[in-house]
Amino acid sequence: MGLDDITRRLRAAEQDAGRKPGAVKLIAVSKVQPPDRVLDVLKQGHRVFGENYVQEAQAKWPDWRETWPDVELHMIGPLQSNKAKQAVALFDAIHTLDRMSLARKLAQAVQAQGRSPALFVQVNTGDEPQKAGILADELPGFLDQLRPMDLIPQGLMCIPPEHADPQPHFRVLRKLAQDAGLPALSMGMSADFETAVAEGATHIRVGSAIFGARDYGPAQ
Ligand SMILES: *Cc1c(COP(=O)(O)O)cnc(C)c1O
């Protein structure tokens, strides 16, 4: 556990997969973590972070960026359309483009601000009715619709179903990205990032294994 340990395990997984050291970007998912834990990781020299909530990220990162201007911030949580403007202003990458209405809002914000965060299309590889994401069958059509909006995604993202073997989902995502000619794959979390690296992840999103368990406080 901790940044050093995860970095070591990531380097080993890259090597096992025959990939170059540093081929995979480690996104340290700092959502809900107490500020002192995040500061520790910043002070250890890590600069790539992921957040799930626009409001929470807005409250923390503009200040920290004054001290660490080279921080790279990734939005990995579900994004409400009415937060698209703020998200484009704050984040360097958005991993959760999952519907056309959001694409339209993002396109407007990109135009207005002249800022283009890297985009990932979230794919619902498990066909789960409650989960966000484009269905695999509908991905080519969705990507076609993005083109005239000048939204060029860098890659695809998935969250495999809980309790399922993630490997087939990572494989499906890789195949979909290959077919679409997209270079980036955002897949793998604390419990399965080594599998994701073996399957070609370019971005892994690791929270609790770096920072410790998240404490969401007493249930409402
Ligand atoms: C919270 C979250 C993570 C990090 O999860 P851990 O299991 O703590 O590594 C990764 N991806 C997404 C989309 C998340 O919401």
Q: What domains sit in the chain, N to C, each tagged with a CATH number?
A: 3-207 (3.20.20.10)
pLDDT tens string, the chain, 220 residues long: the values are 899 999 999 999 999 999 999 999 999 999 999 999 999 999 999 999 999 999 999 999 999 999 999 999 999 999 999 999 999 999 999 999 999 999 999 999 999 999 999 999 999 999 999 999 999 999 999 999 999 999 999 999 999 999 999 999 999 999 999 999 999 999 999 999 999 999 999 999 999 999 999 988 776 4
Residue from 1, 9, 10, 29 whose mutation best tests the ligand 1 pocket (most atoms within 8 A of CB): 29
CA angle (19, 205, 152) in 5-degree steps: 80
Q: Where are the beta strands (DSSP E) in the chain?
A: 25-29, 48-51, 72-75, 93-97, 118-122, 155-157, 184-186, 203-206
Rounded CA-CA distance 187/169 in Å is 9
Closest ligand 1 atom to 159 CA: 13
CA angle (182, 148, 204) in 5-degree steps: 30
For residue 209, the model assigns a pLDDT of 97
For residue 177, the model assigns a pLDDT of 98
CA 121 to ligand 1 center in whole angstroms:
16
Pairing of β 72-75 and β 48-51: parallel
For residue 218, the model assigns a pLDDT of 75
Alpha carbon 212 to chain centroid, angstroms: 19
Q: Which protein residue has the closest C-alpha to ligand 1 atom 6?
A: 207
Q: Report whether residue 76 contacts ligand 1, using a CB cutoff of 6 Å.
A: yes
For residue 215, the model assigns a pLDDT of 84
CA distances to 85, 109, 111 from 114, in Å: 12, 8, 5
Q: Which protein residue has the closest C-alpha to ligand 1 atom 4?
A: 207
Q: Which protein residue has the closest C-alpha to ligand 1 atom 7?
A: 190
Q: Report whether residue 52 contacts ligand 1, using a CB cutoff of 6 Å.
A: yes
